[in-house]
Chain A
Amino acid sequence: MREITLSQAVNEALAEEMRRDETVFILGEDVAEAGTPFKVLSGLVEEFGTDRVIDTPISEPGFVGLAVGAAMTGARPVVDLMFGDFLYLVMDQLCNQAAKQHYMSGGKLSVPMVLRTNLGATRRSAAQHSQSLQALVAHIPGLKVALPSSAYEAKGLMKTAIRDNNPVVIFEDKLMYQDKAPVPEEEYLIPFGEANVKREGKDITLIATSSMVQVAEKAAEMLAKEGIEAEVIDPRTIVPLDEKTLLDSVKKTSRAIVIDEGHQSYGVTAEIASRLNEKAFYHLDAPVLRMGAMDVPVPFSPALEDITVPTPERVVENARKLCAGELIHAA
């Protein structure tokens, strides 16, 4: 199978959906000729024109609000939010407006829009361009949240997001834009709410999202050398969440670590760990561990920044302790 980058995969998904449905359009800062700072959208304005690839002023609440209104009146806008950190700027439009229209109107209005943004630290971009804020939006009923972990997922989830009749926030890992993965030439979609078992194992389950899937896979390889067989699962969407696949795995392995790049406290890892505790308690041989980013603003200095995110080595260390029956507190 051919291999393309995550960036190309997103670009293809958008182009295919824009060819398929003329109500799909892109809105955001520097999306047209510039193709975004990450060059993810390069070439789209040449094919679809400036009516469908629309450069906006630097007005995040404004253009997200426009997308909500356009979606409520029959379009399928894809908003480009240049950095996930800018979610704080658009919270009212996303969480009070987009997320609630369908419910508040008793099902009469709907908001079929996609908000594309990104996550991920270790790019030396400091505290306001490095956050992974998926927990923030996953908390809000009415929003769906997708976290692609490779080019394959990025394309399939984006196409599903565009066709979904709800507001979907999709976070791409900005460090993975140039990472290649096998992506079929023919069309495919990845349904929401279907986790992907990346690696099978019987001793411990590593549930990892987005950027942390690679970390978990690497940890699993290292653990295998020690005779510990880790199962690696990527939920792919956290809203909706494929609870069944996670529970089935944990019932089999009796141990789990949940890894996500958002802050650990009150985060995605906490939610998933809590569900496992509630629904698989008697199958567990050890507490479910959370491994998120440290509860500090992301520091600039590489010497500090690298400490803040989970690494394969730290996952291995925790997995080893869990499998050895040591009741530990994760670092």
Chain B
Amino acid sequence: MAKSKTNTEDYLRMYRQMVRIRTFEDNANQLYLSAKMPGLTHMYSGEEAVAVGICEALTDDDRITSTHRGHGHCVAKGAEFKEMFCELLGKEEGYCRGKGGSMHIADQSHGNLGANAIVGGSMGIATGSALRAKLQGSDDVTVCFFGDGATAQGLMYEVMNMAALWKLPVIYACENNGYSEYTRTDEIAAGSITARAEAFGIEAHKVDGQDVLAVNELTQKLVARCRKGEGPFFVELETYRYHGHHVGDINREYYRSKDEEKDWRENRDPIIRFRAYLVDQGIASEEEIEAMNAEIEKDATDAVAYAEAAPYPDASEVDMHVYAD
């Protein structure tokens, strides 16, 4: 755990955002288990320090692209529970009017260019967003979130090549949770992941993705350097997903053991670790933290109730938004 205690407010916001993600996911999982949610969804639980550590280093003008496992990025970039749950349930008040759902949730008001259901599919979009910033002469930075599985897609190498050639302000954030869907990553990824970025002359870092302060500290430095034209950068974040590939992936012992899951949950949980740190450093008391947790839980419960009661889009919406005016 990084030691510097720079700003109490920032720390509390980081904790709050991590708990908001976990709480959102617990509720989303419950909606799935109780058959109230159409389709499937992919839980971000366990990876909270990655999204929060990175997004807390960004402004609303900075942009991100997200993945099929995208709720965490969406919350971390500033989205509200109510519109998110409405989207997950296919309701009109959702961020995408119910047309995108969990795998396409986008919140452009906070710079979230959207989740993407094609593994690695948003790498071009993120790099194009960075190209736009450079051509425009703005200092906006784009972060491209993707998983270890996406490192097997050819698109990644095409866009990293161009980003490096043109010094684009983009940070490639590889969330390595150890599993490429139902397969161990070491079975699908040859060599070192960071070395692949380095081959293009891109400065690459590896960081403990369960340590929100370490992630945030590194990202702040890289974002500042991106703004000065020193990008692109590549970061591999070692993390873990507590659930299966998606909520329906329950029996998964054929690809990973319960002992391993237990070890990550009990010994490397980003929220438990940061909570202990906050208390230890005297930044927050146990009571304050419990109160914060309860408040977030209530927000989520209210938002779920709101979304459940919210109307579906009118049938007339089905062919709206195919083309822009």
Given contacts A104-B104, A165-B324, contact A66 B159 (CB under 8 A): yes
Which one of B63, B104, B159 lies within 8 Å of A73 (CB-CB)? B63
Given contacts A59-B162, A104-B104, A106-B95, contact A92 B128 (CB under 8 A): no
Are B114's CB and A70's CB within 8 A? Answer: no
Given contacts A106-B98, A144-B323, contact A62 B106 (CB under 8 A): no
Q: What 0/1 readout, one digit per residue, does chain A (52-77) give for beta carbons within 8 Å of chain B?
A: 10001101011111111111111101
* B107 nearest in chain A by CB position: A108
Least CB distance from A115 to B in Å reads: 13
Given contacts A56-B162, A61-B155, A66-B162, contact A72 B96 (CB under 8 A): no
Q: What 0/1 readout, one digit per residue, does chain B (131-161) give for beta carbons within 8 Å of chain A?
A: 1110110000010000000000011001101
Given contacts A106-B100, A108-B106, A165-B325, contact A74 B136 (CB under 8 A): yes
Residues of chain A within 8 A of B155, CB atoms compared = 61-62, 65, 92-93
Are B324's CB and A107's CB within 8 A? Answer: yes
Which one of B95, B97, B127 lies within 8 Å of A69 (CB-CB)? B127
Residues of chain B within 8 A of A103, CB atoms compared = 99, 321-322
From residue 143 to 178 of chain A, which have CB atoms closer than 8 A to chain B? 144, 165-166
Are B127's CB and A104's CB within 8 A? Answer: no
Stretch in B17-25, B33-41, B118-126, B239-247 touching the partner: B118-126
Chain A residues touching B, range: 35 or more
Stretch in A4-12, A38-46, A94-102, A278-286 touching the partner: A94-102
Least CB distance from B129 to A in Å reads: 4
Given contacts A66-B159, A73-B113, A144-B323, contact A105 B121 (CB under 8 A): no
Q: What 0/1 readout, one digit per residue, does chain B (93-118) give for beta carbons within 8 Å of chain A?
A: 01111111000101010000110101
Are B129's CB and A69's CB within 8 A? Answer: yes
B250 contacts A by Cβ under 8 Å: no
Which one of B96, B114, B118, B135 lies within 8 Å of A92 (CB-CB)? B118
Are B123's CB and A65's CB within 8 A? Answer: yes
* A113 nearest in chain B by CB position: B128
Are B323's CB and A66's CB within 8 A? Answer: no
Which one of A57, A71, A141 lies within 8 Å of B128 (CB-CB)? A71
A131 contacts B by Cβ under 8 Å: no
A254 contacts B by Cβ under 8 Å: no
Residues of chain A within 8 A of B98, CB atoms compared = 106
B190 contacts A by Cβ under 8 Å: no
Residues of chain B within 8 A of A52, CB atoms compared = 135
- CA gap between A223 and B252 in the complex, in Å: 71
* B155 nearest in chain A by CB position: A61
Given contacts A59-B158, A106-B98, A109-B113, contact A65 B125 (CB under 8 A): yes
Residues of chain B within 8 A of A72, CB atoms compared = 113, 125, 128-129
Are B124's CB and A62's CB within 8 A? Answer: yes
Are A57's CB and B162's CB within 8 A? Answer: yes
- CA gap between A68 and B124 in the complex, in Å: 7
A142 contacts B by Cβ under 8 Å: yes
- CA gap between A101 and B95 in the complex, in Å: 13
B309 contacts A by Cβ under 8 Å: no
Which one of B106, B159, B161 lies within 8 Å of A104 (CB-CB)? B106
Which one of B124, B161, B325 lies within 8 Å of A93 (CB-CB)? B124
What are some 23 contacts across the A-B interface (CB < 8 A)?
A: A57-B158, A61-B155, A61-B158, A62-B127, A62-B162, A65-B125, A69-B113, A69-B125, A69-B127, A70-B132, A74-B136, A93-B124, A97-B118, A102-B322, A102-B323, A103-B321, A103-B322, A104-B99, A104-B106, A105-B100, A105-B106, A106-B99, A107-B320
Interface on B for A, CB 8 Å cutoff? 63, 65, 94-100, 104, 106, 108, 113-114, 116, 118, 121-133, 135-136, 142, 154-155, 158-159, 161-162, 165, 320-325
| Other A-B pairs beyond A65-B125, A69-B125, 17, CB < 8 Å | A57-B161, A66-B131, A66-B162, A68-B124, A68-B128, A69-B132, A69-B142, A73-B113, A75-B135, A97-B118, A102-B321, A105-B96, A105-B100, A105-B108, A105-B321, A109-B106, A142-B322
